[in-house]
Amino acid sequence: MSVYRSVITGSGAFIPEHVKTNRDFTAHDFYDEHHQRITTPPDQVVEKFRQITGIAERRYADPEVNSSDIAFEAAKRAIEDSGIDPETLDQIIVAHNFGNVIKHTIQTDVLPAIASRVKNSLNIRNPNCIAYDLLFGCPGWLQGVIHAEAFFKAGIAKKALVIGTETLSRVLDTYDRDSMIFSDGAGATIHEWREVDESGPGQLSFSVQSHCNEEAYYLYMGKSNFPGSDPRIRYIKMKGRKVYEYAMLHVPVAMKDCLDKAGVDINEVKKIFIHQANAKMDEGIIQRLYKLYGRNDPPQDIMPMSIHEYGNSSVATIPTLFDSVKRGDVVGHGMEKGDVILFASVGAGMNINAVCYRM
């Protein structure tokens, strides 16, 4: 028996070359949200940060490079990997949070949309290739994957390019400890609506939730922690403890819901690609997911990670990690035809999503 599914036929990523190490932050003065100077020596602040998040390095885009530029680079590589003619694309969906933030400015530029810029850079002439942006916090790329499948099922699209791109280094408050989490990057995937065997590849299920009451402002834009800072200049801010507690409570449940919809048992899952937000948090989410199935021992090789080297690039963390594993660039991790994998993410809004997929 055959069925139609959304199949990933290509992937690509762009990781900036500029490395920002933890050592680079040891010369900083840090202030808390009450604008009080943190008296703990900066090197101790940085080391505690590493122990909690697992981050030792992160990547920043060069000053002349913007989110749309790295999105284009990732898109080119995904198109090349898939072998499709770009003119046959029906959709270009670009997930981001801040658009193009020109270095040393305080303005977000999303006119035209990042997706429109990518289509322009790819020199796609087909007017029926619809380009649009998607704002959904860190789960944006995965939400784009869900969007693409919905359009496929509606019968109005057959091929989609889904991109997650971000240059968070442009919106960081260097006086805020949380600024050390964020980084830059872009990842892209090609999705095609294909007829496959029932046991063949493709998207099997998804789960999405939005909690927008007291959770809505766990991530927000606010002025610098530095005393007397200009309130007109705003930076990304995060209530870290609240985000952690929220994710631990809700993400495992959404992941299980996704697997249940697919009729997949946790023991069938070979890899889990989770948003690279915080190593301790991600490990805790996996532990809780397995406990929902009565297991206390997640497989050691179930969760590839890139956060230690690349930091948290928001919408780009999952597609860049997926591309790396698919290409065999992550030691100890690989995927084979028929493997069931689970994607999951959480972020500003607050939003959660998960997708179950068979390779």
- Of the candidates 163, 198, 159, the residue with the CA atom closest to the CA atom of residue 316: 163
269, 158: one domain: no
| For range 225-245, the mean pLDDT | 91
> Cα–Cα distance between 347 and 234 in angstroms, integer?
19
Confidence (pTM) = 0.94
pLDDT the model gives residue 107: 80
58, 112: one domain: yes
Give me the number of domains the chain comprises: 2
In eight-state DSSP terms, residue 312 is B
264, 352: one domain: yes
The residue segments making up the domain with residue 334 are 202-358
pLDDT the model gives residue 271: 97
Band of pLDDT at residue 320, cut at 50, 70 and 90: very high
Band of pLDDT at residue 27, cut at 50, 70 and 90: confident
Q: Which of 151, 170, 197 is the last residue of a domain?
A: 197
Mean pLDDT, the chain, rounded, equals 94
Residue 293, token pair as written in the block: 């199935």
148, 249: one domain: no
212, 181: one domain: no
Q: List, for residues 205-216, the tens digit of each pLDDT value.
A: 999 999 999 999
Backbone dihedral angles phi then psi of residue 5, each to the nearest 5 degrees: -140, 160
178, 312: one domain: no
| For range 169-175, the mean pLDDT | 92
41, 69: one domain: yes
> Cα–Cα distance between 132 and 90 in angstroms, integer?
11
| For range 137-157, the mean pLDDT | 97
> Cα–Cα distance between 172 and 179 in angstroms, integer?
6
Dihedral angle of Cα 200, 322, 351, 54, to the nearest 10 degrees:
140
pLDDT the model gives residue 335: 93
pLDDT the model gives residue 105: 79
353, 208: one domain: yes
Element of type H or E holding 121: helix 114-121
pLDDT the model gives residue 186: 98
Specify whether the backbone of 123 is left (phi greater than 0), alpha (psi in -120 to 50) or beta: left
Q: List, for residues 332-342, the tens digit of each pLDDT value.
A: 899 999 999 99
pLDDT the model gives residue 104: 80
Residue 23: which CATH number?
3.40.47.10
Does residue 234 sit in helix, strand or coil?
strand
Q: For CA atoms 133, 135, 141, 142, give the dihedral sign.
A: negative
Q: Which of 153, 171, 197 is the last residue of a domain?
A: 197
Q: List, for residues 249-292, the tens digit of each pLDDT value.
A: 999 999 999 999 999 999 999 999 999 999 999 999 999 999 99
Q: Cα–Cα–Cα angle for 117, 232, 32, nearest 5°?
A: 105
- The pLDDT > 70 percentage for the chain reads 100
Dihedral angle of Cα 300, 289, 56, 304, to the nearest 10 degrees:
50
Cβ atoms of 159 and 190 within 8 Å: the answer is yes
Locate tokens 């784009």: which residue?
144
Instruction: Look at 51-65, 95-109, 196-210, 294-308 and tell me which has the smallest mean pLDDT.
Output: 95-109
